[in-house]
Structure 1
């Protein structure tokens, strides 16, 4: 078979890229190693920048988001018991974010692709990418025990950190930059109303905590923990007790507890691969970068990647111009590194590091004091949180 672009991976990055290219008249096929149900079972955060919402609106996959998403005009930082609200709308001239789960974004984009008639193959085994240094790459895979081949003009690697796309080019001059943090987030999802109408980030001597939500009736809470922790050792009662200790009595009074739907520990990592183009293979989303969840940038960075890539590929096919694809890597990486910086700075400010000296602890306190006293500092934080321009 033949298609103009093979997209590997049916997470939000691959599905959004497919939708953007379909709207531009580019023929695509999506290959996914897992089943549809498996992809939809992955629970991820969902704070969407306005730019991400605009892209979903552009392709016509925003109807449910508009009905069910929760617009947020600000968020709170709580540092050693002192609360500071970052008023994003006021500080950025009216911008905001929308809370809407990544699983729901994925579901909406899957249904949008189904309705468009564009093909997607799930449970594709043994995916391999060939000849990307030529003008005639191809992708091979096995489906239902039968080997198949797709000839194409370009391959988009949207298959995540552990996918085949980046591994294909690891020996072709790929550079990686990484910071692994010495702790994780223990997260609990429960069908209880949120404790507040906006997110609360908490820095406490016992460690970081986050009060978040998925809807008016479903909440997501996190506490910083050791990477060696076993989820099995954390009963629901123990989690709620620890969370209340960290958020302080005023917030603790508003927390409604209930049985967990899901509990898991996520490590924190900063990671960037360079470059993002290898001939006719382009990396995007988690195949290209990982950010700590502190800054709510992971899904939004994937959206900006595929925005740049879709514009570049549409230009390539419509005008036979390589200008866009030649500059894709540089354009995407410029925004990636700025988002990495913001996520790193939020992580460093709000978490407890056992290795920190008294000097470094005072630096954290001084950073919070500066945010409290300076509208300019709060505006810079708000500008990054709502998302830098694409």
Structure 2
């Protein structure tokens, strides 16, 4: 078969790119290793910057998001037993974020792609291979339902995540990788219970970090920092709620409603960037090129900005016969990536308890947090990074 763009990965970045290209009249095919149900079952981020909201609108899939999503105008920082609010609109000239789960973003994009009858191949496993992207005639081969298939294309978009085939297909000497692995993980629990507060609470405590988040007014997502040696099966729901309660202020503790977990998992934290993000006619986007700690809520939003840059470049190529957008894709994307990496690293370092650092580390974090919430300049820096820097 023949298409203009072959997209590897049917997560939000791949689906978003496919929908934007379709709206521009550019043909594309998506290949996904897993089943559609598996993709929808992944519990991920839930905070959208304005750039992600704008792209959902551009794709024509924003109706449910605007109906069910929660506009948030701030976050609360909890330390030394007290909460302090960061007012986004007041500090950024009116900007906010939208709480709308990545699963719902994916569901909306899947539905739009299906309704448009666009070709998507799920459950192709590890059979995908990328060929010729260093020349002018790239192609993708894969196996589906016992048959060998081939897609000839003009460009390949690698949107298949950290463990995907796209980055792994690049010669080792053509790519440079930067990585920092953090010495703890996030134990997360999803439950159909009302959240303890209408905005996110980020907690710095002597027992470790905690986050109170939500997916809706009736569904909460909670996290506690745990050692990497912990196993999820060692944590009962009661044990999780007990530990979360210990890390909250009295008001939040009083409002904590317990309920059976719908999902529970431990996620390791890492900062990772691969440079460049273009290799001939292969372009990396999203987690295929970079990973951020979830503390700053940047993972999905960085994927969205990558897709914005990449889709604009591809559209420019076909409409204006110009390669400028694609030629500058990697540099433009990486400039924004590194700023988000810096913010996520800083926020993670500020809010978590690092093993072996002793009591002085806790006191220094509390001093910085005290400065942060009492300095307009420092609060403004946090707010403008959290709501999203300009493209």
Task: Please report the TM-score for the alignment, with normalisation by the length of structure 1.
Answer: 0.98
Shift of 1:365: 2.1
Q: Secondary structure at the match of 2:216?
A: coil
Aligned to 1:302: 303
Match of 1:60 in 2: 60
2:354 corresponds to: 353
**Hey, what does 2:183 align to over in structure 1?**
182
Q: Which residue matches 1:10?
A: 10
Deviation at 1:172, TM superposition (A): 4.1
CA distance in 1, matches of 2:313, 2:301: 19
Aligned partner of 1:49 in structure 2 is 49
Deviations 1:45-100 (A, max 9, x none): 21001111011001101111011001000000101212110000111111100111
2:140 matched residue in structure 1: 139
RMSD (Å), alpha carbons? 1.0
- Residues 311-326 of structure 1 aligned to structure 2 (within 5 Å): 311-326=312-327
Q: Aligned pair 1:100/2:103, yes or no?
A: no
Deviations 1:341-362 (A, max 9, x none): 1111110000001132555434
Identify the range of structure 1 (345-354 vs 248-257) with the bigger mean alpha-carbon deviation: 248-257
Alpha-carbon distance in 2 for matches of 1:292, 1:216: 25
The equivalent of 2:214 in structure 1 is: 213
SS at match of 1:129: strand
Do residues 157 (structure 1) and 158 (structure 2) align?
yes
1:232 alignment counterpart: 233
Instruction: Note if 1:28 corresponds to 2:28.
Output: yes
Number of the residue aligned with 2:194: 193
Aligned to 2:113: 113
| Paired position in structure 2 for 1:88 | 88
Question: 1:230-274: CA deviations, max 9, x gaps?
Answer: 111111111111101011322100111111111100000100000
Q: Do 1:74 and 1:198's aligned partners in 2 also have CA atoms closer than 8 Å?
A: yes
Q: Is the 8 A contact 2:78 2:249 kept in 1?
A: no
* 1:79–1:350 CA contact under 8 A, matched in 2: no
Point out the more displaced range, 193-202 or 314-323: 314-323
SS of equivalent residue, structure 1 residue 181: strand
1:196-227: CA deviations, max 9, x gaps?
Answer: 00000000000000000010100010000011
- Counterpart Cα distance in 2 of 1:337 and 1:198: 27
SS at match of 2:197: coil
- Structure 2 match to 1:382: 383
State how many pairs are aligned.
390
TM-score, length-scaled by structure 2: 0.98
Tell me if structure 1 keeps the 8 A contact 2:82–2:249: no
Secondary structure (helix, strand or coil) at the match of 1:214 reads strand
Q: Where does the alignment leave 5 or more consecutive residues of structure 2 unmatched? A: none
Which deviates more, 85-94 or 168-177?
168-177
| Distance in structure 1 (CA, Å) of the matches to 2:322 and 2:157 | 18
State whether residues 86 and 373 of structure 2, in contact with CA within 8 Å, keep that contact through their aligned partners in structure 1: no
Deviations 1:155-205 (A, max 9, x none): 000000000000001424100000100000001111100000000000000
Distance, in Å, in 2 between the alignment partners of 1:252 and 1:14 is: 40
Q: Where in structure 1 are there 5+ consecutive unaligned residues?
A: none
**C-alpha contact (below 8 Å) 2:56/2:62 kept by paired residues:** yes
